[in-house]
Amino acid sequence: DGGITQSPKYLFRKEGQNVTLSCEQNLNHDAMYWYRQDPGQGLRLIYYSQIVNDFQKGDIAEGYSVSREKKESFPLTVTSAQKNPTAFYLCASSEQRAQVRALHFGNGTRLTVT
């Protein structure tokens, strides 16, 4: 079955530690995205990548980093510089790089930092 796999589903970290969230897709999509969901805030774009070895900042990129070494993979690192890292993180992919018509989402990773 084609889809997007995010792991782990729940992640706990101590403040001051970097943590990497995994996202893998087997849909052969060019574009991949990271969104963050907070209560009452909707989905906010962190980073996106339209092609391998290229990525761009979204609306709330501060305190995050990404890499896109393979088409299938787009890991997100939440660094200690991120002031409010506790959130639900969603990875998505899209066939098209421009004029995005639809996003396919993974089931998310809930990160709790204490």
Partner 1 sequence: DQQVKQNSPSLSVQEGRISILNCDYTNSMFDYFLWYKKYPAEGPTFLISISSIKDKNEDGRFTVFLNKSAKHLSLHIVPSQPGDSAVYFCAASANSGYALNFGKGTSLLVTP
Q: What letter would DSSP give residue 94?
A: E
| Closest CB 33 distance from partner 1, rounded Å | 6
Q: Is 43 in the site for partner 1 (CB under 8 A)?
A: yes
Query: Whole-angstrom Cα distance, residue 34 to residue 77?
Result: 11
Map residues 48-77 to x or -, x wherever contact with partner 1 holds by CB under 8 A.
x-x-----x-x-------------------
Biggest distance spanned by C-alpha atoms of the chain: 39
**Helix/strand/coil for 27:** coil
Q: Give me the residues that bind partner 1 (CB under 8 A), please.
A: 4, 6, 9, 33, 35, 40-45, 48, 50, 56, 58, 88, 90, 92, 97-108, 110
